């Protein structure tokens, strides 16, 4: 079946450090891929997305590239801030509009000053 | 435009009771999905409704049920509550007319079962 795997957390980084959160997926065809972020006490919100191979999604300094050959969608940011402390979820949705969104387990990030 | 609204924000129940949670989607959104979030299991898909019909269902027991009204508002019900039902229940809405659409989430209902 379709699934999403993320690197285990929690991840703790110092401010201005480089961030990578690994995400790999299992799915047939060409799903759309997403990164959602959940700040403390809130619901999830979309951070970025990519809909086809080699697409790069970007937002707020975060980037992720859809790699079909490695079935990956790793999240990166060059310089994290304390305000980036949150839980990050990788997700996929199959081609048909009525398919459900499948989320990874989430990776908790803490950024310390 | 108002966001996704979930009520109540917090609930405390005892084992054996039942509970009903409410979700009002963004105006114009016809798809509503429900997720259970726990520290150990992450985000687990419960079900999705589209135009008052359940279109997808996750692997939860029959104690978990839901419905959607003609105005797209949705409710989920949990009967005979168990301690393990303590979780954050998240509702998400979308137009659901394209595969790359994002979900809009509410802030959730935090359910504690004692």
Which of B25, B47, B48, B100 is best to mutate for the A interface (most A CBs within 10 A)? B100
CA distance A55 to B75: 37
| Mean pLDDT across chain B | 92
Name the band, by pLDDT with cuts 50, 70 and 90, for residue B40: confident
Name the band, by pLDDT with cuts 50, 70 and 90, for residue B100: low
pLDDT exceeds 90 at position A95: no
Out of A99, A101, A103, closest to residue B42 by CB:
A103
Q: Which pLDDT tens digit goes with each residue over B57-89?
A: 999 999 999 999 999 999 999 999 999 999 999
Largest CA distance in chain A: 44
pLDDT exceeds 80 at position A21: yes
Largest CA distance in chain B: 41
Which of A66, A100, A105, A106 is best to mutate for the B interface (most B CBs within 10 A)? A100
Q: Which pLDDT tens digit goes with each residue over A43-63?
A: 999 999 999 999 999 999 999
Look at residue A41 in the predicted model and tell me its pLDDT: 86
pLDDT exceeds 80 at position A84: yes
Name the band, by pLDDT with cuts 50, 70 and 90, for residue A96: low
Tell if the CB–CB gap between B107 and A102 is shorter than 8 Å: no
Q: In sequence order, which residues have a C-beta less than 8 Å from that of residue A34 and are 6 or more positions away?
A: A46, A47, A48, A49, A90, A91, A92, A93, A101, B102
Among chain A residues, the shortest Cα distance to B6 is held by: A43
More confident residue, B67 or B101: B67
Tell if the CB–CB gap between A34 and B107 is shorter than 8 Å: no
Interface check for B106 against chain A (CB to CB < 8 A): the answer is yes
Min Cα distance B37 → chain A (Å) is: 10
- Percentage of chain B beyond pLDDT 70 is 95
């Amino acid at each position: 079946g379709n699934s999403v795997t993320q690197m285990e957390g929690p991840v703790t980084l110092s401010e201005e450090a480089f961030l990578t959160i690994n995400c790999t997926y299992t799915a047939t065809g060409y799903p759309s891929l997403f990164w959602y972020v959940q700040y403390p006490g809130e619901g999830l919100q979309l951070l970025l997305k990519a809909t086809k191979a080699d697409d790069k999604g970007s937002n707020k300094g975060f980037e992720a590239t859809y790699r079909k050959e490695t079935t990956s969608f790793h999240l990166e940011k060059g310089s994290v801030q304390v305000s980036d402390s949150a839980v990050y979820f990788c997700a996929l949705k199959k081609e048909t509009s009525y398919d459900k969104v499948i989320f990874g387990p989430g990776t908790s990030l803490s950024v310390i000053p | 435009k108002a966001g996704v609204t979930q009520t109540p924000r917090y609930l405390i129940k005892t084992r054996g009771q039942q509970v009903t949670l409410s979700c009002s989607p963004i105006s114009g959104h016809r798809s509503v999905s429900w997720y259970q979030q726990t520290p150990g299991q992450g985000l687990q898909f419960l079900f999705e409704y589209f135009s008052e019909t359940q279109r997808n269902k996750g692997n939860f027991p029959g104690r978990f049920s839901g419905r959607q009204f003609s105005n797209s508002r949705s409710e989920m019900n949990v009967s005979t509550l168990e301690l393990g039902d303590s979780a954050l229940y998240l509702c998400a809405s979308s137009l659901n007319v394209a595969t790359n659409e994002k979900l809009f989430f509410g802030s959730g209902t935090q359910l504690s079962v004692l």
